[in-house]
Amino acid sequence: MEAGLFTANNLWMMVCTALVFFMHMGFSFLEIGLTRQKNTINILFKNVFIICVGLLLYYIGGFNLMYPGDFNGFIGFAGFGLEAPLTADGALDLSYNEGYTYWTDFLFQGMFAATAATIVSGAVAERIKIGPFMIFTIVYVGLIYPIVGSWQWGGGFLSTLGGDDGGFYDFAGSTLVHSVGGWGALIAVYLLGARIGKFGEDGKTRAIPGHNLPLAAGGVLILWLGWFGFNGGSVLSADPAGTSLVLVTTCLAAAAGGVGSFIFSTVLYKNYDLTMFLNGILGGLVGITAGADLMSPMESIVIGLLAGVIIVLGVALIDRLKLDDPVGAISVHLICGIWGTLAVGIFGSMAGFDQFLYQLAGVGAAAAFCCITAFIILYALKATVGIRVSKEEELEGLDIHEHGMDAYADFRMNQH
């Protein structure tokens, strides 16, 4: 490859890496804004822990578990740590792949790894013990996420379901990232139980308002910006045609998701709900992620609009099942992740009945593995050290009890 083009490709990948890293601030702001102020420090601590430990785990073994080279298609391991390919004279081998160096590859993929646990963090907010959550994160990010990723991106069995005709397809991770986190979140919410006061004895669902919706809105806009790197970087080069199309389909799906969600929720509930609008944007982003490089602009709008409607229905379904998800993570990342994955078989250049079945098989394989492993990890923690804080700790706030500090100390002092 011509040196200038290689440099441009690698530079674009590094910019995308930075954008995906920035998404962790978006997740933090969104989770803080949609929950109560007494749990702000706890949420920030979890999100900072996730990115720090996630990168270290990906270095220790996750990268080589996800990209093991020749393996049996289900699980393989290329060894601990990083060992960059070198030329005969000891220089970094730039023929590692066509667009970027080994180091850039590791860092870009490492940013994805932590996202799965961040999804779980929002769903279990305000009542999980910090210690067991950290243990779960270590196992889920260190082992479960890279194993599922290897099935497709590492050349595993999902990528060859159709033989020479191809197989399961997930461009940037509607299933391999978002649904992996979503299945973990679903199991965690089920085992944890609802927050005190969420579901009354009369069976009715009670809203527990977040304390800072401006912060939540800022978080969503940061996530939208970060998705330029999440999907744009998944082109794996700075190819002008491929990259620009992916950014257009990503943006249009996000916008359509927001519009679809707010219109549908307004018709159902007769009010302009900002939180539905925000989650609709995220639903559109998650929905387009599996096939952003395959869709026309019009198809991306349709996928986004339907994702927006799915968000509203998904939130209602989660409430009806008496599952308490403070930030709507299960509806956004799991339900819309499934929708986006299946949409590859319905819309775009790969649409077809066989492809739809491959997509369905991929969803099912991820669901079975993630649900079983998440249940084993969390149930073991629940049976030993416990995963839920006490009633007193939950009512008074995790910041004071888990961390011994207050995110808004001056505000609280002025209240007294």
What is the SS3 assignment for 205?
strand
The DSSP-derived string for 253-303 is HHHHHHHHHHHHHHHHHSS--HHHHHHHHHHHHHHHHTTTTT--HHHHHHH
Distance of alpha carbon 45 from the chain centroid:
18
Q: Which sign does the torsion angle of CA 244, 175, 314, 202 carry?
A: negative
Place of tokens 């996202």: 115
Q: Which residues pair with 86 in a beta bridge?
A: 92
The DSSP-derived string for 117-175 is HHHHHHHTTTTB-HHHHHHHHHHIIIIIHHHHHHTTTTS-GGGGTTGGG-----SS-II
Sketch the domain layout of the chain as residue ranges. 3-415
What is the pLDDT, as a whole number, of residue 338? 98
Q: How many Å apart are CA 307 and CA 347, to the nearest integer?
A: 14
Q: Which residues pair with 205 in a beta bridge?
A: 199
What is the pLDDT, as a whole number, of residue 84? 83
What is the pLDDT, as a whole number, of residue 100? 86
What is the pLDDT, as a whole number, of residue 1? 58
Pick the CATH number of 3-415 from 3.20.20.140, 1.10.630.10, 1.10.3720.10, 1.10.3430.10: 1.10.3430.10
What is the pLDDT, as a whole number, of residue 416? 39
Residue 403 carries which DSSP code?
A: I
Instruction: Take residue 49 and report the two structure tokens written for it.
Output: 């822990």
What is the pLDDT, as a whole number, of residue 254? 98
Place of tokens 């579901």: 199
Q: Write the Ramachandran bin of 79: left for phi over 0, alpha for psi from -120 to 50, otherwise beta.
A: left
What is the pLDDT, as a whole number, of residue 312? 97
User: What is the pTM assigned to this prediction?
Assistant: 0.95
What is the pLDDT, as a whole number, of residue 413? 47
Q: Which residues of the chain have pLDDT under 70?
A: 1, 411-416
